[in-house]
Amino acid sequence: MLRVVPRAAAFAALAVAACVPQSAYEEQAVQLEQARAEAAARQAEIAKTQAENRWVIAGDLLFPEGGYQLSASGRAALRQFAPQLSAVQNVKVVVYGFTDDLPVGPALQRAGIANNLDLSSRRAATIVAFLETQGINRNILSAKGFGETHPVAPNDTPEGRAQNRRIEIVLEGPGA
């Protein structure tokens, strides 16, 4: 004799067989929350370490508009970093240059700067040269320009473009 089990009863039996005891569920939820807290703590530690080893300086403070020669205020600002940088050991000091997305002007083009990548590279190299004059070991210094790539703000407002015109001085390596 063939016995027919109602569909609802079959689903109920399947659901009961697949259930996890409430205590096991709660234990997993606690473990998940602990893992999230540990991950957040690690992320905060990483952010703190990165913040301690990276200085971001507004390009408008360092250079005249559309230029790559250090301004007097730019030299004064960089002098503040020189003692900290001369004290580091076993690190590489990398100066990264960034620009907004506006094309370089005719004056810069006449000076041999074809685009924002050239401008950001020239600005980073200018910072490196200045740091050398402040007693920073040239063997630990390097410069890299990124042009308008890696923006930190939209380029559709003057404020956003100003945020994107920046220099980052980063300590890299085992001693950082």
| Cα-based distances in Å from 139 to 15, 53, 62, 150, 173 | 68, 18, 23, 27, 14
CA separation for the pair 48, 64 (Å, rounded): 32
The pLDDT of residue 13: 55
Distances (CA, A) of 159 to 65, 121, 152, 154, 156: 14, 22, 11, 9, 9
Residue 172's φ and ψ, nearest 5 degrees, are -125, 150
CB 103 within 8 A of CB 152: no
For 57, phi and psi rounded to 5 degrees? -125, 130
The 10s digit of each residue's pLDDT in 63-72 is 998 899 999 9
- Which pLDDT does position 66 carry in this prediction? 86
Residues of the chain below pLDDT 70: 1-20, 25, 35, 38-52, 175-176
How many residues are given for the chain? 176
58-172: CATH topology is: 60s Ribosomal Protein L30; Chain: A; (3.30.1330)
- Write down the pLDDT at residue 56: 93
Q: How far apart are CA 25 and CA 17, in angstroms?
A: 15
Do the Cβ atoms of 59 and 123 come closer than 8 Å? yes
- In the numeric block, the tokens 């039996």 are attached to 13
